[in-house]
Amino acid sequence: EDQVTQSPEALRLQEGESSSLNCSYTVSGLRGLFWYRQDPGKGPEFLFTLYSAGEEKEKERLKATLTKKESFLHITAPKPEDSATYLCAVQAWSSGSRLTFGEGTQLTVNP
């Protein structure tokens, strides 16, 4: 069974204080690992897809990395508008097209 565990559950940062969110996964044959951002009352917004260990992707203040067991979402010099819940999901070759999600990390960036 595919499993995704995100940590920490909640993270509070000061504006400009860089940090990382963790996504540990267990899957039989990774097809892709996805990061989404979800604001309150809205649907998840796509951020990144990573396909193989060693891959990295960047977008503004965010950088996602992938190893064979986990992914990190690095947030550099965050701003209050980065406050949201960040969701990690995996897609396995054995599970077809479905995504298996972690429970998310709720990030709050204080000014």
Partner 1 sequence: GAGVSQSPSNKVTEKGKDVELRCDPISGHTALYWYRQSLGQGLEFLIYFQGNSAPDKSGLPSDRFSAERTGGSVSTLTIQRTQQEDSAVYLCASSPGRLKETQYFGPGTRLLVL
Footprint of partner 1 on 18-77 (CB under 8 A)? 31-32, 34, 36, 42-46, 49, 51
Question: Segment near partner 1 (CB under 8 A), from 14-22, 53-61, 76-84, 102-110?
Answer: 102-110
For the bound state, the minimum distance from the C-beta of residue 14 to partner 1, rounded and expressed in Å, comes to 28
Q: Is 98 in the site for partner 1 (CB under 8 A)?
A: yes
Residue 87 interacts with partner 1 (CB under 8 A): yes or no? yes
Q: What is the DSSP string of the chain?
A: --EEEEE-SEEEEETT--EEEEEEEE-SSEEEEEEEEE-TTS--EEEEEE-STT-EEEETTEEEEE-SSEEEEEE-S--GGG-EEEEEEEEEGGGTT--EE---EEEEEE-
The reply to whether 78 sits near partner 1 by the rule CB under 8 A is no
Of 38 and 83, the one with the shorter C-beta distance to partner 1 is: 38
- By C-beta, is 31 or 74 nearer to partner 1? 31
Cis peptide before 8 (omega within 30 of 0): yes
Lookup: tokens for 85: 């819940």
Q: Which residues bind partner 1 (CB under 8 A)?
A: 4, 31-32, 34, 36, 42-46, 49, 51, 87, 89, 96-104
